[in-house]
A and B are shown apart, each in its own frame.
Chain A
Amino acid sequence: MGEVKKSASQRGAGIVFFLAGFIGALLVGWVVFPNVLYSTKTQPIMFLHSSHQDSNCEDCHYFREDGSYSGLPKLEKCAECHAEPMGDKPEEKRLVEEYIQQEREIPWLVYAWQPDNVYFSHAAHTQQQGIECVRCHRDVTKETKNPPFRENRLTGYSDKTMKMVECEKCHAERGASNACHLCHK
């Protein structure tokens, strides 16, 4: 009996050690790891879409004549209005002095940047085709500050970068092709 008792206590202790390892790993994996994997960066300039309500989205984000998408506007677009500061906000002053006057492009951190091996055409994913911008991008209309850019230390991409599975899911739902070469030319 003594041997059995010892064995039961040993088993109990074994479960404790196992659980300690198990729970510890879960904690590391779900809590510590994401914080270690991502570094938090801020945009070089605080840009608020909500402060630019006097412009249309298409003023800055438009399709070019050849059907390609302009994406983020270049500095010269900003300079159209901000060649001189329009107000007295310190961020605008910085934009004018550090970038526009020095003709330095703003090194925006792009939340939706995709790798080079992904071919994506905005022209095929428009509101006319029933796809709203917010299907893939965040809603920027009411933002009061830029969300932090959480950069994957290993890959360099944002944690918001869409993964392939999301493309595939939507394509499957809409009956669009999921052939490899559609995106990987």
Chain B
Amino acid sequence: MSLGRRAFLQFVGGAIGGTLLTPIPWKLADDSAIWTQNWSWRPSPQRGEITRVRSVCQLCPGGCGITARLVNGRRAVAVTGNEAHAVSGGGVCPVGASSLQYVYAPYRIQQPLKQTGSRGDPKGFKPVSWAEALKEVAAKLTQLRSGGKPHTVACLTGQKRSTVTRLWKHFLTAYGSPNFYTMPDAADSVRLAVALTTGMDAEPGFQWHKASYVLNFGAPLLEGWGSPVYLQQVFARWQTEKPGVPRTVLVHVESRASLTASKAHRWIACNPGTEAALALGIAHVLVRDKLYDAAFVAEKVFGFEDWTDPTGAQRKGFKNVVLAKYGLEDVSSITGVAPQVIQDLARELARQKHALVVWGQDKGDKPNSLYHDLAFLALNALLGTLSPSGTVALVPHDPWPDFPEPILDTDAYRGAGQTPLGRPSAVPRTKAPVNTVMPFLEALASGSEYPVELLFVHEANPIYSLPETALALQAFQKAGMVVSFSSYMDETTQWADIVLPNHTALERLDDVVGLPGAPHAYYAVSSPILKPLYDTKNAGDILLGLAAAVGGGVAESLPWKTYEDVLKLRVGSIAKAGTGLVPSAAFFDPASVQPGRALKPNFKDAADLWNKLKAGGCWVDAPAAAETFATPSERYELACQGLMASVPPTAADELFMPRFHPLKPSGEESEYPLLLMTYASLMLSEGYVPNTPFMNKLLPDDLLRKQDVFVDIHPQTARSVGLTDKAAAVLKTPRGEARVRVRLTPAVKPGVVAVPQGFGHTAYDEYVQQKGFNANSLIEVQLDPVTGLGTVWATRAQLRRV
């Protein structure tokens, strides 16, 4: 027997035969298949008890009810709408539906951080303990206050409808700083306009359910304006046939064929930025043909006829001004809308029993020109919609007088006497607060007045989401110390010195005060859906802790132990007032809410109301009827006497009343022949939070292709520049330039470039970074000469081939 080649083969043959009769090949084949199912990067859903928690979304001012599904009470797996919620009725927007991707995002900040390298270097952040971080901030606050410079502390918050905003203002007032700002909002200018004309700090609440005819000047009702889900529900209701009830007609005025325009019954394509002129043209016809609500105007309106100002000077009234200045031919040449169309619109509007005039821009995050807000309000006043039986209610912004007056000690007095940084002296003094955030940043960037030694940024990402991002960055670089309360490492937080991470919107107890555009008062408590994942704190609690550390009047003014105590105080005030109810969607008809008819409460006391709200409900109540106005004339002031201090005594008569007053974009038309305008979309988030990966899945490839973002131009514009569909180009404005691709569409006017917002992040993760360009880096802000608010309507631009 020799062990040769033959023997080896015989052995191998036997081994193969034997192996085939063992489990080895069969078991390994099966197990290998199972092994591939268990690779570590394969997502595996956690198993366990499924629970549902109801809450209210905090990611935009929309106040939608949400239901979170959790496994074992700890791992949230889905967010859907809450069908029992009276306002959103089970609906949810793309941001809300994918909101868990913010909670579990890799760009979450997991503990307090301190910049140890040079400012702006994201790698220079080192974790520090809460005690250490808070001690440093408290020491800076104490040092500035005792050094007589409390006014050099400023706060910019992106939260506009939470009690934490009120708490920030209260803190800064007691501390001694007038420099409290929120991110820009359409309400900034509307509240001033309402305060000037009615003497109230209120926002117009539109009775969508009652209106039979809605004339909408530019508000993208279906693209994220106001409370997005609420408005989608309203729109669905308009489309639902009800026997005996005529359908609500929507007429949309906008230069671009937006989604809202395409869904409207009629689209009036005016020239860009001329909506207010069209409103005044319609007012002209109403006045000329005596089609206005004569009874309301005679009894409740001041300044329609000629008037005498407090100095005794005779001034022309609205009637004569609008008849003289806004003739059909003049308005037609401004707006590009035919005179006959304007006349027909006015007559159609006047025929309606329940007409409603609405206006807005993008997602409601840009203040308007004061005069233009006044123009749209005037049209409503002429139609009598502001009367108690009309379609516009005045909803007070934050009506509960539950915060005690701040205690101003000597240090606070020293700072409180200072003018807010950059605020123009012409800003009218009304009951409405003034939010001159853009002049503040300009003054900070230029160093023209006093410096800002300590800047708090809370739930805001101004270096990305403020128009003119370069200015915001410049301002931040000038600030002494920047403290960010962000939950995410965003573009702004990268420039912070200390980061005190807030819980995300789904992890914290918070509230929603008021609903933009809704005709009723609204309050909701947002309960955490799960325990915080990381070592973060509620910004409200941090603020109370800082107040206690500073001591003196600040600690006395903010005596609460926790932010929950503050929210309970608010709920206690509502319960004490004893009106309003926490309705269920099934038993609540929004059309039944009428101004002046307070709703009967369905809660026993403050504790009962708190429990109902914590369970995901919302409190609603009818606003008071506008029987009288708190203006000098005790009427609705078409001619605003409140502007006497803001305009020179020799000012022309029209400076007191609505007028078409476009601000001229900078740059030469020869160099920048086009107009850049931005548009909003529900698929894009351009505010404090970026798009989630799920939201990016919604984007069509003629909006975002790989890293390129498409801008819309008319084929005629494309021919003049020599561009074809999908061609790459460079878009340049006086503020900056970006590489884009063009989409040729007749949906925009020739000469206009329509640009989406929400792209071009440099922070966060690979799903968001470097996709296209940030529209805010190209657009130009024009300060309203009266209010100092930063308005945005169009920026001069050029497109060239690459």
Contact = CB atoms under 8 A, between A and B. Distances in A.
Interface of A: 10, 13-14, 16-26, 28-30, 33-34, 37, 64, 66, 68, 70-71, 74, 115-117, 152, 154-157
Interface in B22-42: 22-24, 27-28, 31-32, 34-35, 37-38
B510 to A, nearest CB: 27
Contacts of B16: 21, 25
27 contacts: A10-B6, A14-B6, A17-B8, A18-B10, A18-B11, A18-B14, A21-B11, A21-B17, A22-B14, A22-B17, A24-B15, A25-B15, A25-B22, A26-B22, A28-B24, A29-B19, A29-B21, A30-B23, A33-B23, A34-B23, A68-B50, A70-B49, A115-B34, A116-B37, A116-B45, A155-B31, A155-B38
A17 B7 contact: yes
Contacts of A155: 31, 34-35, 38
Interface residues of B, number: 33
B11 to A, nearest CB: 4
A154 B31 contact: yes
Contacts of B27: 33, 37
Contacts of B34: 115, 154-155, 157
Looking at chain B's contact residues, the main secondary structure is helix
B38 to A, nearest CB: 6
B13 A29 contact: no
B18 A29 contact: yes
Contacts of B23: 29-30, 33-34
B478 to A, nearest CB: 48
In the A-B complex, list the 8 residue pairs whose CB atoms are closest, starting with the nearest.
A29-B22, A21-B14, A25-B18, A21-B15, A22-B14, A18-B14, A17-B10, A22-B18
B72 interface: yes
Given A34-B23, A152-B31, A155-B35, A14 B18 contact: no
For A14, A22, A34, the residue with the greatest tally of chain B CB atoms inside 10 Å of its CB is: A22
B22 A28 contact: yes
Contacts of B1: 13, 16
A28 B23 CA distance: 10
A71 B48 CA distance: 8
Contact of A154 (B7, B11, B35, B45): B35
Given A64-B49, A74-B72, A21 B31 contact: no
A168 B72 CA distance: 31
A115 B22 contact: no
A17 B35 contact: no
Nearest to B42: A116
Nearest to A66: B50
A156 to B, nearest CB: 6
Contacts of A64: 49
Contacts of A28: 19, 22, 24
A152 B37 CA distance: 14
Contacts of A14: 6-7, 10
Nearest to B12: A21
Contacts of B14: 17-25
B650 interface: no
Nearest to B32: A154
For A20, A21, A37, the residue with the greatest tally of chain B CB atoms inside 10 Å of its CB is: A21
Nearest to A152: B31
A92 to B, nearest CB: 25
B44 interface: yes
For B6, B14, B28, B72, the residue with the greatest tally of chain A CB atoms inside 10 Å of its CB is: B14
